[in-house]
Amino acid sequence: MSKPAHRSFADDLRGRDDAALAALLAARPDLLSPVPPDISALAARANSTPSISRALDSLNQWELEVLELMACLEEPVSLEDVEIHTGIPSSSVVSHLYRLCLIYRDEGTYRIPRGVRDTFGPELCGLGQRLGSRIEKIDLKKAPEASQELLKKLTWGPSRGSVKDVKNPGPGLQWLLDQAILVIADSHHVMLPAEHAIALRGDKVHREYHSVKPLLIGESVKDADRAGAHEAAAFLMWVEDLLEAWSREPGSALRSGGMSIRELKRVAQLLGVTEACAAFVAESAFAIGLISIDLDDRIMPTSAYDLWLARTPVERWREIAAHWLITSRAAGLCAPKEGKGVAPLGPELDRAAAPGLRALTLELLATHTDLAPTLDSLIELVAWNRPRRAKHLQAEFVEWTVREAHWLGITGRGAFTSFARQLIADEEPTLLASQLPPLIDHVLLQGDHTAIAPGPLYPEIFREISFMAEVESRGTATVFRFSEKSLRHALDVGYDAEKIEAFIKRVSKTEVPQSLTYQIHDIAKRYGRLRVGSVHSYLRCDDEAILAEAMQDKRLVALELRRLAPTVIISPAPLEEVLETLRSHGYAPAAEGRDGMTTLTSPSVKRSKSRPRPPRLIGDYSLPTPELLTAALRALRTGEHVSTQQRTLPQLAKTPRTTASETLRFLQEMSGSGGSLWIGYADTDGGLTHRIIEPMAIAAGYVTGFDQLSGEIKRFAISRISGVAAIDQ
């Protein structure tokens, strides 16, 4: 007598109510892309390898171990079987696996869908194939020592062992073959069947089970908000410094895309940070469209940068931090501990697992107030929560997330900040505003020609003072230094002595030192007396003594100066090199154009002509809204109803044929009754199609009804209906 067929996976899905199906679709949103037409299609998609892989990736270690155990046992598997093997209450885990459709019910027991087994692959948990025979216990008391050694190697996997020739095994192997503990797989391999391996393991599939999640350990900290706000302010400062630098001198990009190594080193030196931090700063600006790479491989700010600067510091920080939460780009790949890094701003930084692991790491950090956990304990906890997710890079992702959270001020002294909790909850980070120092519009001038800004300056003031003073240090306070070089730069971009002095007097709350005023006017007086143009280059000066001094200056030998006339010297060096060399040795030349007029370096900042193109986001499917779930359930039930009718009504195989009067009579009788009609309908190409409709109204030669095939209300021309047939509900 043949064994009765067991219940199928699709039948189990059909038996679930709307609440259970809604829970499944919410937990596995990829099943809704697009909405399946019926339950059979939903079962097929839920049993596909890509969908199952995503579902397995969402399991924690304990849930995964239980599922692996059930897949290794002989079907059907009961809850009692699971608890006998684990020795741990497992009903909640089994229920969760059932909700995810990773197992299904069959008369009070459970079965594993074929797709789950295929996704796990062969030799799950180091177990070989099943022979289908039951074995209670294997007695190895009389086994030769060599046999016992062989079993130790195979018991916990791999299940297959290689031999030179199975026809001439050694005594240890021969004994195992004679006792049928091992079986011959092929001429060079033997195998330990799964039933035997489980018995040798003491009825266990895993060495140990991890039903209790690890604990975070670390130090208790205070003032996390204040420390985090300090880091947040510093990060905004880094972004501004970098983009202001690229406004004046665009960065260099690789032809293949991304920032060159040389440029990364230059940025790191400019900001006074590590290369890893410099890459993250650039990536953060890139993510929100503040920078772009032009067609000529130059990295420049976009016009969006000016709009970003006009916002408050809290708004600027929130935009950067919010994009970091969801971005699929892993900036940590730019400066790994080992191996060659990936170019920042390049196309190779996307990792689909990045947003999920980042969100999980932050979620675990947020659950502990005022705790700065150790990195090792955090890595262990993440590994327990998502053992399959990006396994080869998971620890690195956690480390990068912790590091980047510190740079952004998400954490302060290693502990999660209160304003970061507001950010994750998609609220305004109002608690950050109370911690950030207010913007100021003044500096304090010192007698040594330094100016101290005791807080963050307004962007427009910072930009203007940067034209005439060099930043000497940044931190809680910014220190600027007015030097001969910086003042010459102000003259180069179009300032004169009066404008420089007026600006300094306006922004300084202390008296301007007389020595600084003298220096400004002295440099302005000397500025431009010596002119440099292109021959490659020439030097022109009405004061012959200055030219004579330059000709005799041994520090200028590399310029190969040659005198053409009492007031003119030429050089084969490029104009920029001549200007830079003269300035570095105390001269104050001015560049001039072909018309003999002084050429000023425009103070206007450079902006990319390309439109901002923030990187695309790659990640998990978003959670479905309640409205989408409701619509999807209606479509599934409707589609299943249609499919059932098509399977159970053989008389509908033929297109119905009725006269025009009979068709109209049927439609009038069924209109508004809620009943269904099977109609034959001529499409625009003249072909006949089958439809099941619920007539709602008839007017002007059209019937309006709910089309169960499409799940929409449509109008059908009565003249194109070839016939109708009633369907018993």
Last residue of a domain, one of 99, 126, 153: 126
Q: Are 493 and 577 members of one domain?
A: no
Decide if 429 contacts 238 (C-beta within 8 A).
no
pLDDT of residue 278: 95
Q: Are 579 and 500 members of one domain?
A: no
pLDDT of residue 385: 95
Q: Are 31 and 108 members of one domain?
A: yes
Beta bridge partners of residue 224, listed in sequence order? none
Interatomic CA distance for residues 313 and 432, integer angstroms: 9
Decide if 613 contacts 289 (C-beta within 8 A).
yes
Residue 669, phi then psi, degrees to nearest 5: -70, -35
Q: Are 572 and 460 members of one domain?
A: no
DSSP string, 312-334: -HHHHHHHHHHHHHH--B-GGGG
pTM of the model: 0.75
Residue 414 domain-assigned (yes or no): yes
Decide if 696 contacts 721 (C-beta within 8 A).
no
The 10 Å Cβ neighbour count of residue 525 is 11
DSSP 558: G
Q: How confident is the model at residue 168 (pLDDT cuts 50, 70, 90)?
A: confident
Structure tokens at 267: 């940025």
Interatomic CA distance for residues 675 and 726, integer angstroms: 8
Give the residue from 484, 476, 480 showing the smallest Cα distance to 465.
480
Q: What is the mean pLDDT of the chain?
A: 86
Matching residue, tokens 């018993």:
728
Quick one: average pLDDT of 174-185? 82
Q: Which residues of 499-651 form beta strands (DSSP E)? A: 530-533, 537-541, 562-565, 568-571, 590-591
Residue 611 domain-assigned (yes or no): no
Q: Which domain holds residue 261?
A: 226-433
Q: Indicate left, alpha or beta for 101 from its phi (over 0: left) and psi (-120 to 50: alpha).
A: left
Question: What confidence tens digit (pLDDT) does each residue in 689-702 have?
Answer: 777 788 888 877 88
pLDDT of residue 162: 83
Q: Are 301 and 410 members of one domain?
A: yes
Last residue of a domain, one of 403, 433, 463: 433
Q: How confident is the model at residue 194 (pLDDT cuts 50, 70, 90)?
A: confident
Q: How many domains does the chain have?
A: 6
Q: Are 113 and 150 members of one domain?
A: no
Q: Are 410 and 481 members of one domain?
A: no
Question: What confidence tens digit (pLDDT) does each residue in 312-354 have?
Answer: 999 999 999 999 999 999 999 997 666 678 899 998 898 989 9
Structure tokens at 112: 């594993």
Quick one: average pLDDT of 710-723? 81
Q: How confident is the model at residue 671 (pLDDT cuts 50, 70, 90)?
A: confident
pLDDT value at 25 more than 90: yes
Residue 392 domain-assigned (yes or no): yes
Overall residue count recorded for the chain in this entry: 729
Interatomic CA distance for residues 714 and 652, integer angstroms: 21
Question: What confidence tens digit (pLDDT) does each residue in 447-486 have?
Answer: 999 999 998 888 889 888 988 999 888 777 889 999 998 8
Q: Are 169 and 290 members of one domain?
A: no
Maximum Cα interatomic distance, the chain, rounded to a whole number of Å: 120
Question: What confidence tens digit (pLDDT) does each residue in 490-513 have?
Answer: 888 888 889 999 999 999 999 999
Residue 423 domain-assigned (yes or no): yes
Beta bridge partners of residue 724, listed in sequence order? 679
SS3 content of the chain, % helix, strand, coil (to 5): 45, 15, 40
Decide if 320 contacts 239 (C-beta within 8 A).
yes
Beta bridge partners of residue 530, listed in sequence order? 541
pLDDT of residue 381: 96
Q: Are 55 and 24 members of one domain?
A: yes
Beta bridge partners of residue 329, listed in sequence order? 350
Matching residue, tokens 């459970």:
110
Q: Contacts from 212-217 at CB under 8 Å and sequence distance 24+?
A: 212/62, 213/60, 213/62, 213/381, 213/384, 213/385, 214/377, 214/380, 214/381, 214/384, 215/377, 215/381, 216/364, 216/368, 216/371, 216/373, 216/377, 216/378, 216/381, 217/373, 217/374, 217/377
pLDDT of residue 1: 40
Residue 426 domain-assigned (yes or no): yes
Last residue of a domain, one of 380, 402, 433: 433
Interatomic CA distance for residues 516 and 523, integer angstroms: 11
Question: What confidence tens digit (pLDDT) does each residue in 151-162 have?
Answer: 888 888 788 888
Residue 522 domain-assigned (yes or no): no
Interatomic CA distance for residues 148 and 108, integer angstroms: 40
pLDDT of residue 729: 47
Q: Are 246 and 333 members of one domain?
A: yes
